Structure 1
Amino acid sequence: MKDVRLPTLFEIIIILGGFLALVLSFTVFLNLPIQLALFISWFLVIILGIRLGHTFQDLQKSVINGISNGLEAVLILVSVGALIGTWIAGGVVPTLIYYGLEFIHPSIFLLATLIICSIMSVATGTSWGTVGTAGIAMIAIGEGLGMPLPLVAGAVLSGAYFGDKLSPLSDSTVLASSLSKVDVLKHVRAMMVLAIPAYIITAILFTITGFIYGGKNVDLKKVDSLKSALHQNFDIQIWMLIPAVIVVVLLALKKPSMPVIVVGALLGAIWASVFQGMNFAEAIGTAYNGFHIDTGMKFIDGILNRGGITGMLDTLVVILFGLGFGGLLEKLGVLRVIVSLFEKKLTSAGNVTLTTLIVALLGNILGCAMYVSLILTPKIMEDSYDKLNIDRRVLSRNAEVGGTLTSGMVPWSDNGIYMAGILGVSTFSYLPFMWLSFVSIGLAIIYGYTGKFIWYTKNKSAQTEEVV
């Protein structure tokens, strides 16, 4: 049997350079789907794996294992697609848009967007669900109020990711804590000492920006025409929001995410049939095919013509290929080799924190899925934390900051493709306004190098920090 070895740095550079070249050439120059580039990249890594002594069967198993580790994300995304389709058909999202245009003042719109999306995300534990419902509504309201849409998208994502990484119901929160061997509630408490200051700073930034932009570009005729178009095509009443209230309450009561989201989708179909006059079979069909309407207003049609399971297929394929690619990278030990180059410098909490954030970002860039980052980062970095007797809560916190909060920044990742597609704003356009992510990353690095909120296990000699 052929001996198996780890890849050299030169081999890693060649493979990862080839991967990035494929991704960029397919998306930027050839206008080909990113999914095809990811699929071809599998075979680049497989060729390297065989060269390193692995059998094709072992490499194929690593692809399957990688995909199986993230199947929960696939199930949730399918459910969210169904939810978006029926909630638009049932008037839930149109009602949110209408009341937002009616009551939210332009000067506080960005702050309101941040708060609304963060509350919904904390309660539901899903950034995808938040962006696909409240996020769509806030984009439509922002357009009506004349706000720059990349800025609105930044506020939506800041709120959505804040809730996603603080909610014990969130799959990313559970994954980061469980793989770091930390109780999920202890992980959430460790996150709060970073997330809350970051949220306050972000809220201040969006408040100031809101007063700068608010009211300057408001076209009252456009606002009125948007509201009129919604009224003409939907029954707009406060009880249209009941399905949203039921879903938020059930998820806040810690009921399982997927069945609750499916129940919400069913309620949306019922609302479409009872209140919006749709045939029930057609209403149920929006869960699969999405919602389609022609209001005569291009922007409103662009916002409302979406959703359904079929609308999620592109992102689903990215997730599957990204998880498989991550499984191959883990099998070959690519990220472990990269980290080992800096091992001699991993002698302080600051350096370990910075390295963890970089590894998590690379997991999103190379693995193309948040799950890849959250699965690989704790496995790769845990020994470095243990050697310094740093509490695993710091590892889980840093893994989530680096993995969850950067996932929407990568145009070819699952989050990047989903967020850009749902919000109608390109990744590179909204990236500069993901202020919560940037502030959180900055605070994590500051904490690491100052020792603030860095906890140690009890067997550390000359302990300087208390364990909380």
Structure 2
Amino acid sequence: MKKGNPFALIPIVVFLVLFIAVGIIDNSYGGMFGDSLPAIVGFVIALVVAFLQNPKGQKLSFEEKLNNMARGAGDENIMIMCLVFILAGAFSASVKAAGGVDSTVNFGLSIMPGSVAVVGVFVVGCFISTSMGTSVGTIVALAPIAIGISEKTGIAMPLCIGAAVCGAMFGDNLSMISDTTIAATRTQGCDMKDKFRENFKIALPAAILTAILLFLRTKGNDYVMEEALEYNFIRIVPYLVVLIGALAGLNVFMLLVGGTFLSLCIGIAYGDFTLIESFGIMGEGIMGMYDITVISIIVAGLVSLVRQNGGIDWLLYIIRRCIRGPKGAQIGIAALSSVVDCSTANNTVAIVIAGPIAKEIASDYDISPKRTASLLDIFTSVFQGLIPYGAQMLYASAATATAAVSVSSVEIVPFCYYPILLGICALVFIIFEKKKS
């Protein structure tokens, strides 16, 4: 077993220290965590540090290091992942422009009785986030409704907003077009439908328990919609096509292209935009994925240099000394992804960083790629839905700024039942699952 070189991890440490320190300083002056130091800038600085290092006992030329970085950045899985990011961005933008988001929200709330309004926010959030593939987008869509329910029923604002966050995080690690799902499956080399099934049997119990808790906490509070919520089921169809098609095992590229085309046709048919405008809509969606696409390429190159210098070998050496058996390995993967997410405040970036290490651990202890992808996605989502400085919590808190009662992200955390229960269910599943022959 190679002991590796702990100093090869310095570039990653540099990124984490910079990102966290600048975020804390900026936040203390009223800024939003992560805004002052964009992740891509931090990773470029880390990449420069990695280029200054050499493997233990060797001295490589700049060209050799550059070639190694390029091989890592151009890895087959990384390139496929980036292409899926781009197609997912085009689909999300087109279906939103075609009124899919509004129709989905209104349809879900229209069929839910007023006595379970807060539970309804959670359930609708589950469907929207699974369909849209974005937790932040789901929170933005649902937060105004959750605020209205709180103001009219007297139910605590943090509880209502927490229900929206819970629903958003449900689809964050289940959606076929979520950037976390794309990153987890591509770094581990498994099919999305297999990873979905692995996740779903853990996520479903957590979701049911969350709905029960929300019902008990809000029992006896009725909420009546003051006006009829308008929706068009045709506008929801693209979501259903992509979701059902992905579960059926159809090619994700074809599904996203087909879903985008269907959304644009619906939008044009209903007069939401013209054919010429549709190109701009797709362009905006694709540009919205630029950051995570470029970050994924840079991180892949950085990890390749860290691996070449012995950093991954050292990390695996330490982890293997602490792990005993497959269950311990799964808990190790869960802990690794959780710590990285808490450090970066971005679950997709956390998966891209932890993915290669998790794959090595899984290979050593014969853990299936779909299980590893599931663990990465679940535990990064668990903490992303709980850390008060993450984008989800910050957007949820910001939505209440103009409400009668504004709440901080810290006040919302205790009511984020779903992420907490998801983590508990996942640990129970790891510990008590019987080994298959």
1:238 equivalent in structure 2:
233
Q: Percent identity?
A: 18
Matched residues in 2 for 1:254 and 1:396: separation? 14
Kept in 1, the 8 Å contact 2:337–2:379? The answer is no
Structure 1 length-normalised TM: 0.68
1:368 equivalent in structure 2:
349
Query: Which stretch shifts more, 68-77 or 416-425?
Result: 416-425
Kept in 2, the 8 Å contact 1:177–1:187? The answer is no
Of residues 80, 84, 90, the one that matches 2:98 is: 90
| 1:37 Cα deviation from its structure 2 partner | 1.4
Of residues 287, 303, 313, the one that matches 1:310 is: 287
| 1:404 Cα deviation from its structure 2 partner | 4.3
Kept in 1, the 8 Å contact 2:165–2:392? The answer is no
Of residues 4, 16, 22, the one that matches 1:6 is: 4
Call closer, same or farther: CA 1:140–1:314 in 2, change over 3 Å: farther
2:88 equivalent in structure 1:
80
| 1:156 Cα deviation from its structure 2 partner | 2.6
| 1:444 Cα deviation from its structure 2 partner | 4.2
Of residues 174, 182, 202, the one that matches 2:210 is: 202
Secondary structure of the corresponding residue to residue 94 of structure 2: helix
Secondary structure of the corresponding residue to residue 60 of structure 1: helix
2:402 equivalent in structure 1:
none
Of residues 55, 69, 74, the one that matches 1:63 is: 69
The AA in structure 1 aligned to 2:54 is G
Call closer, same or farther: CA 1:421–1:16 in 2, change over 3 Å: same
**1:354 pairs with 2:331:** yes
Matched residues in 2 for 1:359 and 1:282: separation? 44
Matched residues in 1 for 2:55 and 2:276: separation? 51
Counting matched residue pairs gives: 399
Between 1 and 2, higher relative CO (CA 8 Å, sep ≥ 6) is seen in 2
Query: Which stretch shifts more, 439-448 or 316-325?
Result: 439-448
Kept in 2, the 8 Å contact 1:330–1:376? The answer is no
2:421 equivalent in structure 1:
439
Of residues 331, 348, 358, the one that matches 1:377 is: 358
| 1:399 Cα deviation from its structure 2 partner | 5.4
Unaligned runs of 5+ in 1: 290-307, 386-390, 456-466
Kept in 2, the 8 Å contact 1:409–1:427? The answer is no
Structure 2 length-normalised TM: 0.72
1:322 equivalent in structure 2:
299
Kept in 1, the 8 Å contact 2:330–2:375? The answer is no
Secondary structure of the corresponding residue to residue 249 of structure 2: coil
Task: Give 1:448-467 correspondences, 5 Å limit.
Answer: 452-455=432-435, 467=436
Kept in 1, the 8 Å contact 2:184–2:352? The answer is no
| 1:157 Cα deviation from its structure 2 partner | 3.4
1:337 equivalent in structure 2:
314
Kept in 2, the 8 Å contact 1:119–1:163? The answer is no
The AA in structure 1 aligned to 2:100 is V
2:275 equivalent in structure 1:
280
Of residues 34, 39, 42, the one that matches 1:34 is: 39
| 1:66 Cα deviation from its structure 2 partner | 3.6
| 1:195 Cα deviation from its structure 2 partner | 4.2
Secondary structure of the corresponding residue to residue 106 of structure 2: helix
Q: Write the deviation string for residues 250-269 of structure 1: whole angstroms up to 9, x where unpaired.
A: 33432222332232222222
Query: Which stretch shifts more, 39-48 or 246-255?
Result: 246-255
| 1:106 Cα deviation from its structure 2 partner | 5.4
Q: Write the deviation string for residues 114-170 of structure 1: whole angstroms up to 9, x where unpaired.
A: 545555777x7xxx63547766543453344345475144323332145349x9xx6
Q: CA RMSD in A?
A: 4.3
The AA in structure 2 aligned to 1:285 is G
Kept in 2, the 8 Å contact 1:83–1:287? The answer is yes
Matched residues in 1 for 2:277 and 2:57: separation? 54
| 1:284 Cα deviation from its structure 2 partner | 3.2
